[in-house]
């Protein structure tokens, strides 16, 4: 399986379990790892046979900015579903960093699912 990585996508979201976290969007840094088959793209050299990194980045960023989650894990699940529904991706891995969540450290969550695993939820 072939992979695309989008790293250090900077966005913002209202996210957190504490009331003060709901007052303003917080910065998030997102890495995506996307698995699909690029065999057709090898020969065609056509974006329609590959993944549009810009479209995926914009969709994920917009999703985060419009979302309201308490947990990074729930946001990760939403991102995975968004990417699998709208793009030809067999497996999505997402790393979300919340740099202002902890003093002196960066909180992060890594989640990944295939299309089949998401259907079972």
Q: pLDDT tens, 23-63?
A: 999 999 999 999 999 999 999 999 999 999 999 999 999 99
Question: Which of 115, 16, 102, 108 shows the shortest CA–CA distance to 67?
Answer: 16
Q: 């088959």: which residue's tokens?
A: 37
For 60-92, what is each residue's pLDDT tens digit?
999 999 999 999 999 999 999 999 999 999 999
Runs of H (alpha helix) within the chain: 39-44, 53-66, 72-86, 115-119
User: What are the structural domains, with CATH classification, of the chain?
Assistant: 2-119 (3.30.1130.10)
Q: What is the pLDDT of residue 120?
A: 85
**Confidence at 121, pLDDT banded by 50, 70, 90:** confident
Q: What distance in Å separates the CA atoms of residue 73 and residue 103, rounded to the nearest whole number?
A: 20
């Amino acid at each position: 399986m072939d992979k695309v990585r989008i790293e250090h996508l900077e966005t913002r979201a209202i996210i957190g379990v504490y009331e003060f976290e709901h007052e303003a969007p917080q910065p998030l840094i997102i890495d995506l790892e996307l698995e699909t088959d690029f065999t057709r793209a090898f020969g065609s050299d056509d974006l329609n046979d590959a993944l549009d990194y810009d479209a995926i980045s914009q969709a994920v960023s917009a999703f985060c900015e419009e979302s309201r989650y308490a947990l990074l894990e729930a946001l990760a699940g939403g991102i995975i579903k968004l990417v699998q529904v709208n793009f030809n991706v067999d497996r999505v891995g997402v790393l979300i960093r919340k740099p202002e969540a902890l003093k002196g450290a960066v909180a992060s969550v890594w989640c990944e699912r295939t299309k089949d695993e998401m259907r079972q939820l």
